[in-house]
Structure 1
Amino acid sequence: MQPAYWDPMPTARRLTESTSHLRASMFKGVWEERNWRNVPGPFYAGETDSMAIGRLDAPDHICYDDDHGGGFGGVFVFRQPTDEGQVFDVLCGASLDLYEGYHWDGDDRWTVESVRDWWADRGRVREWAVAIAADWGADTHPHWGYNNDPQFLGHYHDAAQGHRDFIAHIDNGLEAYLRGYLFWLDQRREPRPGEALPRL
């Protein structure tokens, strides 16, 4: 049975100490520069340039934005890891960022109030995700200029799938995760089976 909240940080620290291409020093993202689409949790992306390859390692956790015009901009974490394999995927995805713009100190940054504020404003991010999934999931994009080249379609279609997965997560699963995360932020321990969780 999946716990209400599982702390991924001990696994993340262990992996950065034992895996050659993963290291704690790659987490240099700045909280104040974080992408507003990041879901609350320990991992987030700030100013990044992953060349839109982060999803190669973590398609269930990383999405791309369009903040730099019609093409790919930065990245954000749309689903936090909930087991050891997912932590490894997120770390591998983060390791591809040229700016080392991810960070894993969200537990020290998020508060119960700010998580509730993010959730209350989830309609904004969901509306954005619906629109970009429709755009990037299409087969023709005349406003993209050179990116309208058919060789890029598969990449854009994969990115659109990530946005659809994000929408599905907002609609089913994220609320339960965030209630467990609120417990963690307040108590600094994982909830025991049957313990009441805070409401969003």
Structure 2
Amino acid sequence: MTTIEAPKSLAQTGYEGYAVHTCNEAPDGGVIPNWVDAPQIHGSWNAGVMAILRAAIPAHLLPPETLERHASDAQVADSQAEHRQFWEGIIRNPDGSLNEDQVHAELADYGHLIREVPKVYDAITGGMLSKPNYFAHAVIGVYEDQRNRDIDDAVLEVLADLYRDLEDEDVRELIMLAAQPHGDLLAEVQHQVHIAQLVAAHVSSAP
């Protein structure tokens, strides 16, 4: 049976990136331990990641950490009652006893979701979100923001090419107007010129 590793958390990814950047050397000169060997730091790194996410992502796109922090006692009670009512008909036998086979089947499905959903979230949000308990609107929101940025970048790149190739000032003014909803056209033009200069310098210096 093939063992499928769970995706790394953002905290682990950040910690391992820090370790690579410092060549595994701790501030006190010691060796930075592997993530799995240092469970005492996981909470701190997770807290750091959450602080970064709160700064980078609108609050309404972040998931609640626990139900109790975002609901009244009455809402929690209603939610728990709703869950019990839903599951009673699935995991109970007609005589009221627990159907263990059905419980195992449901847990198997749940385990599959826990393994696979984070991979999808991680892929479509560019690594920003991966926990399976994010609300759908949070994942979709991050994905759409990233997609819109990609579209803006692609449009700017095409318009910058046109701007550089066409010297008519009236045409350039129209291109500038077309580019306004997508970002800073002149910055993109300067970026392209800089890249072209770097490539030309590299070619000219090649043996």
Normalised to the residue count of structure 1, the TM-score between the two structures is 0.22
**Which structure features the higher share of strand residues?**
1
Of structures 1 and 2, the one with the larger relative CO (CA 8 A, separation 6+) is 1
TM-score normalised by L of structure 2: 0.21
